[in-house]
């Protein structure tokens, strides 16, 4: 039987005559949908993790600590030496991992893992939402067959991503010998290709291009195209050039990317990028093409997040 992260971390710390420290630092949500956050400290490192039970949160915190120690050069046994994204910096910032600009889509990874090893497809349900309108927290449940995880965040999509992340790591750890040939970067590339294939098929069935409003509050793309754009954003590699990512996302939304250059008053020139057709025009300006593309991507990301909260 495979050892749990808590056991592996305890055995590792014994070699240094030390013990890891655990602390339950937060509990949120109603009693029947409570979410617990555990903090783990060891060798000068601190990580935190959330789950629907204290036991699962503690195990997840131990797993994250093992990955952190492995990155610091300690000899951590497989599969716990696998790299993981940085932990949220503060309590309540549950979507920092899932929705950060440098993160990867665990929903896409989980879906690819299930397809490759003939597991039931992941399913997501909204379990509840709490808090005032300006500080809403959503609780989502992700399930693969009989396995399920629940997570909460400030948006529905971020909560789903966190649930998918917990499920993905659980399956990789417990099926380590069977999934050792699963390459995450290849899986993300396949997810991106499928998203683009769906876009091409959708464009063949509905070739019109909807207008895009300048104000986020007036954003009114059709649901299918919003989903395609969101898929393209999620599937984009964190290391991709902003221009490449913008081209993929704009294409999924049915928009052209047009580049223009204007002379600047203080010398040099300004780069303009326009997403067309849109009414009123969507134009973003910066000193370089990369910076202009990054501005446009930031706007689209904010728009998708707003749409997801509605």
Question: CA Rg, the chain, in Å?
Answer: 21
Residue 97: its pLDDT value, please? Answer: 39
Q: What are the percentages of helix, strand and coil residues in the chain, rounded to 5?
A: 45, 20, 35
pLDDT band at 12 (very low <50, low <70, confident <90, very high): very high
pLDDT, greater one: 249 or 230 = 249
Q: Look up the CATH number of domain 5-174.
A: 3.30.160.20
User: To the nearest whole percent, how much of the chain has pLDDT over 70?
Assistant: 72
Which residue in this structure is represented by tokens 């935190």? 48
pLDDT, greater one: 205 or 99: 205
- Flag whether pLDDT at 96 surpasses 50: no
CB atoms within 10 A of CB 148: 17
What is the mean predicted confidence (pLDDT) over 205-224?
47
CATH of domain 207-309: 3.30.160
Cα 166 from Cα 149, distance rounded (Å): 7
Q: How far apart are CA 141 and CA 149, in angstroms?
A: 6
Reported as a single tens digit per residue, the pLDDT across 38-57 is 999 998 888 888 888 888 88
Strand runs labelled E in the chain: 21-28, 35-42, 45-51, 123-130, 137-144, 147-153, 256-263, 269-276, 282-286
Per the CB < 8 A criterion, the answer to whether 25 and 39 are in contact is yes
- Rounded to an integer, the average pLDDT of 15-34 is 84
SS3 state at 101? coil
Q: What is the pLDDT of residues 108-122, one digit of tens each?
A: 889 888 888 888 899
Provide the edge-to-edge strand list for the sheet that holds 123-130.
123-130, 137-144, 147-153
Residue 112 buriedness (CB in 10 A; 0-12 / 13-18 / 19+): buried
Lowest-confidence segment of 124-133, 189-198, 239-248, 268-277 by average pLDDT: 189-198
Asked if residue 26 has pLDDT above 50, the reply is yes
Identify the pLDDT of residue 279.
65
pLDDT band at 247; cut points 50, 70, 90:
confident
Mean pLDDT of 62-74: 87
Q: What is the pLDDT of residue 93?
A: 36
Residues of each domain in the chain carrying CATH 3.30.160.20: 5-174
Which phi and psi angles does 219 have, rounded to 5°?
-60, 125
The answer, yes or no, to whether residue 300 has pLDDT greater than 50, is yes
Distance CA 38, CA 61 (A): 6
More confident residue, 187 or 228: 187
> 159 with 138: CB under 8 angstroms?
yes
Phi, psi of 270 (to 5 degrees): -110, 145
């Amino acid at each position: 039987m495979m050892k749990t992260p808590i056991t592996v971390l305890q055995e590792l710390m014994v070699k240094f005559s030390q013990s890891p420290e655990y602390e339950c630092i937060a509990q949120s949500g109603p009693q029947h949908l409570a979410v617990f956050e555990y903090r783990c400290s060891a060798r000068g490192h601190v990580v935190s993790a959330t789950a629907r039970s204290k036991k699962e949160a503690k195990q997840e915190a131990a797993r994250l600590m093992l990955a952190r120690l492995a990155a610091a050069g300690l000899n951590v046994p497989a599969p716990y030496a696998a790299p993981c994204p940085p932990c949220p910096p503060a309590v309540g910032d549950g979507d920092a991992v899932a929705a950060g600009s440098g993160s990867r889509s665990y929903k896409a990874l989980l879906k690819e893992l299930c397809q490759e090893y003939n597991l039931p497809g992941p399913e997501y349900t909204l379990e509840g939402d709490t808090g005032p309108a300006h500080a809403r927290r959503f609780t989502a449940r992700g399930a693969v067959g009989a396995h399920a995880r629940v997570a909460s965040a400030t948006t529905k999509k971020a909560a789903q991503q966190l649930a998918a992340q917990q499920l993905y790591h659980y399956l990789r750890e417990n099926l380590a010998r069977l999934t050792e040939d699963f390459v995450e970067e290849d899986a993300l590339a396949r997810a991106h290709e499928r998203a683009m294939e769906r876009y091409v098929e959708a464009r063949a069935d509905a070739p019109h291009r909807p207008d895009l409003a300048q104000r986020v509050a007036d954003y009114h793309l059709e649901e299918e195209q919003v989903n395609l754009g969101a898929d393209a954003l999620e599937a984009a590699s964190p290391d991709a050039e902003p221009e490449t990512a913008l081209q993929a996302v704009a294409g999924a939304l049915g928009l052209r990317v047009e580049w223009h250059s204007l002379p600047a008053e203080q010398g040099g020139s300004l780069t303009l990028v326009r997403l067309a057709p849109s009414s009123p025009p969507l134009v973003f300006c910066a000193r370089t093409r990369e910076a202009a593309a990054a501005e446009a991507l930031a706007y689209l990301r904010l728009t998708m997040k707003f749409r997801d909260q509605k």
